Amino acid sequence: MAEAVARALREERHLVVEAGTGTGKTLGYLVPALLSGRRILVSTATRALQEQIARHDLPRLAHALDRPVDAALLKGRSNYVCDLRLMRLKAQPALAGGIEEAALHRVERWLGVTETGDRAECHDLPEAWPGWQEIVSTSETCIGSACEAHARCFVMKARARAEAAQIVIVNHHLFFADLALRTSAAGVLAGAAILAPYEAVIFDEAHTVEDLATHFFGHRLSSRSLEGLARDAQRFSERCPGGGRGLARAGERLLGRAQRFFEALPVGTGRWRLEPEALAAAGQDHEAVAEALSVLADLCAPVAEMGNEEAAALGRRALLAREALALFTLQPDPGLVYWAERRPRSLSLHASPIDVAEILRERLLADVPCVFTSATLSVAGRLDYFLGRIGLDPGSEVETRILDSPFDFSAQAALYLPEDLPPPGSGSHARAVAEETRELAELTLGRAFVLCTSLRNMAAIHRHLASASLPWPLYVQGEAPKAVLLDRFRAVPGILVATQSFWEGVDVPGDALSLVVIDKLPFQAPDDPVVAARIEYLGARGVSPFSAYQLPRAALALKQGFGRLIRSRRDRGIVTVCDARLRTRSYGRYFLETLPPCPSFHSRDALRTWWQGGGASTRLGADRCSSMPHNGS
Ligand code: SF4
């Protein structure tokens, strides 16, 4: 891998490498990146991997190479305290209403010792503390060099360190936010960018690139962002030069009108498609919000002209929000799908690109050489699906590699496909999954993840397990922050029931995890607005959406879930998929060909023999089934 990465960087070509778990892929790209002498961004999907590279892998590498490593860690601005917002909040205690004081004091104490202002270092701050949003900046609220706290600003210092470093460890959120900004029409004109110029990008956890690009090349407008704008206008009115009574009223008016507008939208749950007629129903309220935004922008303009950067930033935000509002009302772009999402404290409108391949080709791949790597990029032994989704032509412009994991899956893992399960979606399926879990957990003494495809399944399976009086602790996603929950599980392994966020990026090596139960094949919901639009898009072009999109995407997701089990050469365990379609549908083979080869079983007795016999020695005892490439026999 290191040679392929070195060649790609030298020849300025794109490279796609699937590197199975345990191949040492991080060092496989860090070493050639360092030795290239070029300025390179390494981008990860998760902050956890970002931290691991910066705090663990790079220091190890510096030690091994016996030379300093010129690298910096950079996260999005919402990870760093904004000194200015914190100062203002403290100066106007009335506006800090609702913010838990004890947590605020904890932050202040920590600010006295931190050098980075990076939230990851403030260990005793609750993960979901809502006050954090009030003390961080956004690109719209930051007033840059006009800020009185600029010289000691954590965001600016982190960016300065990153600008000077040869290797910068960023995350996909930050990378695509920057790319979308710098390549947008307005960004090109204004020379806007977050990241200083770079010569190549290495994407780790690259299987998430399509989703992140979809998010950042789209548009959003949320009730929360309008409320934030209204609140900031009210705050600013108290210190606005020349008095800000008009601004205070404009903020209040915007708040009320935005609330009415979002309440007038058709009610939905989760994510739903926004048809133009849906917004027509909120027509008058929409115009009222647009007018309130114009008034706010007009009030800010004369103050901004006097050189007040804060007023200029407020005015820009109001105009951008008005533009976004018009975009959702007119829905002018057939390349976008318009949809809405309801979350506990916010309703947001989105316009997402249906196909990001062309966008990535024009705005990324044509510009810099890129290395894409992950443990899960190939389906049924081929990389074509991934290449196509991100805009790479399999024929010419890219070198590809599939590097197998050094782990012996045929000895370390078993796939169990229980027979006689009710079909997924039937009323009794959740109970049957819970029952399978309980039976299998007796073999593995708990130490199990139950990975669910929906919150509803998670709740139902958890409920059935909770009523089963298990002899092991039972954990469920949401009862504590993810990192805390994982620490608890590692300390006292039991059964952890979870959904999407535990399917990937979760590492529990060793004995703590010996069983992964997957409730059903992880097809995306076909009525999700973005998925539905992509299905229509492919169908209209004569391409089968099922085989070109839904099936490979689900196969990759299953491979991710399977990948939680074996994290080191010493790990051993069982994956069970409680979905009969793996055996009964013709596409089941496609899923099985995507998973690492290991023995598969249909009978629990045969599985028990394998487990109790230590795996490798009884491999020939695996069930015989002619359609199973996973059959170890
Ligand atoms: S420069 Fe921007 S981020 Fe930094 S303290 Fe000032 S407003 Fe906050």
The pLDDT score that the predictor gives to residue 92 is: 67
Mean pLDDT of the chain: 89
- Quick check: CB of 149 below 6 Å from ligand 1? yes
Rounded to whole angstroms, the Cα distance separating 575 from 396 reads 38
What are the angstrom distances between the C-alpha of 556 and each of 48, 231, 288, 398, 504?
Answer: 21, 43, 46, 21, 11
DSSP notation for 178-244 = HHHHHHSHHHHHHT--SSPP-SEEEESSGGGHHHHHHHHTSEEEEHHHHHHHHHHHHHHHTT-TT--
- Quick check: CB of 156 below 6 Å from ligand 1? yes
- Quick check: CB of 111 below 6 Å from ligand 1? no
Q: Whose CA is nearest to atom 7 of ligand 1?
A: 142
The pLDDT score that the predictor gives to residue 203 is: 98
Rounded to whole angstroms, the Cα distance separating 518 from 560 reads 11
Q: Name the residue among 442, 413, 462, 410 with its Cα closest to residue 604.
A: 442
Distance (Å) from CA 153 to ligand 1 centroid: 6
Domains in the chain: ranges and CATH: 2-70+165-217+359-403 (3.40.50.300), 78-154 (no CATH), 221-353 (1.10.275.40), 409-621 (3.40.50.300)
CB within 8 A of 544, min separation 6: which ones? Answer: 538
The pLDDT score that the predictor gives to residue 98 is: 58
- Quick check: CB of 142 below 6 Å from ligand 1? yes
Q: Using the 8-state DSSP alphabet, how is residue 7 labeled?
A: H
Nearest atom in ligand 1 to 85's CA: 8
Radius of gyration for the chain, computed over Cα atoms and rounded to the nearest angstrom? 26
Using most ligand atoms within 8 A of CB, pick from 147, 308, 310, 314 the residue to mutate for ligand 1. Answer: 147
**Strands annotated E in 257-299:** 271-273
- Quick check: CB of 86 below 6 Å from ligand 1? no
Rounded to whole angstroms, the Cα distance separating 590 from 259 reads 48
Rounded to whole angstroms, the Cα distance separating 394 from 554 reads 21
Q: Name the residue among 603, 599, 604 with its Cα closest to residue 618.
A: 599
Q: Whose CA is nearest to atom 8 of ligand 1?
A: 82
Write out residues in the chain with pLDDT < 70, as ranges.
92-100, 127, 186-191, 243, 615-633
Distance (Å) from CA 477 to ligand 1 centroid: 35
Q: Using the 8-state DSSP alphabet, how is residue 143 labeled?
A: -
CB within 8 A of 506, min separation 6: which ones? Answer: 449, 486, 564
- Lookup result for tokens 């006050």: 131
3-state secondary structure labels for all residues of 48-68: HHHHHHHHHHHHHHHHHHCCC
Distance (Å) from CA 474 to ligand 1 centroid: 44
- Quick check: CB of 147 below 6 Å from ligand 1? yes
Residue 517 has phi, psi (to 5 degrees) of -105, 125
Question: Residue 403 forms beta bridges with which residues?
Answer: 19
- For residue 239, count CB atoms less than 10 angstroms from its CB and return exposed for 0-12, middle for 13-18, buried for 19 or more: exposed
- Quick check: CB of 143 below 6 Å from ligand 1? yes
Three-state secondary-structure class, residue 415: strand
Which sign does the torsion angle of CA 119, 125, 129, 133 carry?
negative
Nearest atom in ligand 1 to 153's CA: 4
- Lookup result for tokens 């490979």: 552
- Per the CB < 8 A criterion, the answer to whether 17 and 403 are in contact is yes
Distance (Å) from CA 65 to ligand 1 centroid: 37
The pLDDT score that the predictor gives to residue 184 is: 80
